[in-house]
Amino acid sequence: MSACKDQDPRIHGIKTKIRVVPNFPKPGIMFQDITTLLLDPKAFKDTIDLFVERYKGKNISVVAGIEARGFIFGPPIALAIGAKFVPLRKPRKLPGKVISEEYILEYGRDCLEMHVGAVEPGDRALVVDDLIATGGTLCAAMNLLERVGAEVVECACVIELPELKGRDRLNGKPLYILVEYH
């Protein structure tokens, strides 16, 4: 599912505020920089509003934001829909007991962690990040939440890079995005 296919007039304004940085962080990568979106209060608000409009009234009890840019979009969505926000962090960033999920990237391995007890069995979760590329990070986030008994309702990203086929790795889990970059 994609808001860009719905032709909401706010989508164009959001898309024009995302800067593409060639060859960052390494040659051949076209980095999708959302920091320029954050500099425009209207475009940033429109981004949050589109997600809130989609998830309000869907009985979502947890918004899980993936480090780091999921921490920008997740909390305002959680507050607006009356859900708790749970940060999914890189290793050794959370104090106390954590549960971990290791995953494979195109260039190595990584890991996400969350506090034990932050998510309860039966919680209805929304996973939020800025971008889906290959889908590995979203899959790890879903696995982490499902291991503790949560139901992942949907994943939400501002940007999708469809050529990398990350959506295909989500095993049929719904993905809502605002902008596609080809």
- 157: tokens are 């990203």
Q: Please tell me which residue in 69, 89, 154, 167 is annotated as part of the active site.
A: 69
3-class secondary-structure state, position 26: coil
**Does residue 167 carry a catalytic annotation?**
no
Burial of 125 (0-12, 13-18, 19+ CB in 10 A): buried
Q: Please tell me which residue in 53, 101, 106, 109 is annotated as part of the active site.
A: 106
Query: How far, in Å, are 3, 85, 97, 154, 177 from residue 157 at the CA level?
Result: 11, 16, 28, 10, 5
- List active site positions: 69, 106
